[in-house]
Amino acid sequence: MKVYSQLSSRRSQHLYFEALQRQQIENDPHFNIVSKTLNKKWITPILYELVHLSAMSLASVETDFAIDSSGFRCSTFGNYCEEKYGSKRKRNWLKVHICTGVNTNIVADVIVTDEHSADSPQLKKLVKHISKNFTINEISADMAYSSKNNLRLIDNFGGKPFIPFKKNATGNRGGALWRKIFHYFQLYKDEFLEHYHKRSNVESTFSAIKKKFGESVKSKNRIAQENELLCKIIAYNITVLIHEMIQLNGTTELLSFNGLQREEVLISALIRSIRTEELDVPTTQLVLGTLASHLGRISSELEQICKTYPRELHAKYSQQILEKYSFRLICLKQKLVLLLT
């Protein structure tokens, strides 16, 4: 509540009292308890985990991501230059690297570093973290992240990298993947930039965080500053979730539709049974016929959902989810045809 309101410790005390009256908390904490808690190093991994948990709810609608970094001003100053050279003192900064979904602008992962840290090495950590909770289709980032290792990493996780090449880059080095993407970038630049434009969503995310929760941190020491920044990200994710709850109201049927997992398992089991001759031919034909009818009903269900929800559900959600399940349905039907023959 203190970070969300951007109030000082004393001025935010009335928020705790109001929460106590609404029975949202059991005790009215001391006004300084939040500042003391933010100074604890053990709270940092908990806050990182809360960022991940707050984003997981939108895993079904987020497959394309954008990565970038931005600075947040600290309330402390660096006195080294002032003392040594007599120059004007400079304010310290912290750098926040985020990976945000381009559909909802939810922050899927975040890394807080010092102001002089490079951007490119952070992509590896961000992509590895989001791969645990999300399906990666596309990753967009600016040319500061352009390297053969980053392109290979994204490709290894099943994603398509849309990172523009630097002016001095050539297609002669970097391996087959580097050459493939480089020539695609040179020959189909308009198509490439259409995907790359999704990166603007991460700029919008930083803008929203700074406008709503401030572009500076009030804490004095490094640990508290990082924890305060993580609290800003969590507070922002909560506002995104509230917005999406309203946006997606009444569309839980589409978002929760997952009627193909059992069918995939069943077809895989049938393939194993046929190969090992565990089932006789009549039984196999009967099961396959029933499964074909079942897949036909699922196909009709998808078409019905598509007709029912376009006005209520934003087009980017319906199109993305329906394409996902339609593709899986086509793959299952192809396997079924092979089994029947």
Handedness of CA 18, 22, 24, 27 (dihedral sign): positive
* DSSP classification of residue 41: T
Closest CA to 225 of 33, 67, 73: 73
301 three-state secondary structure: helix
pLDDT, tens only, 81-96: 455 445 555 668 889 9
**Cα 139 to Cα 136: distance, rounded to the nearest angstrom:** 8
**Residue 72, beta-bridge partner list:** 94
Q: How many CB atoms are located within 10 Å of the residue 270 CB?
A: 19
Q: Decide which of 176 and 17 is more confident.
A: 176
- Are 66 and 141 in contact, with CB atoms under 8 Å apart? yes
Residue 288 φ then ψ, to 5°: -65, -40
pLDDT at 244: 78
Residue 139: beta bridge partners? 65, 161
In terms of average pLDDT, the best of 162-166, 170-174, 286-290 is 162-166
pLDDT tier at 48, thresholds 50, 70, 90: very high
Whole-number Å distance between alpha carbons of 91 and 220 = 12
Could you give the residue ranges of the DSSP H alpha helices within 59-106?
Answer: 80-85
SS3 content of the chain, % helix, strand, coil (to 5): 60, 15, 30
Question: Which one-letter amino acid corresponds to residue 126?
Answer: L
pLDDT at position 110: 93
The structure's pTM equals 0.68
Question: How many Å from the N-terminal Cα to the C-terminal Cα in the chain?
Answer: 63
Q: Once rounded to an integer, what is the mean pLDDT over residues 13-18?
A: 71
> What stretch of H or E contains 162?
strand 160-162
> What pLDDT is stored for residue 109 in this prediction?
92
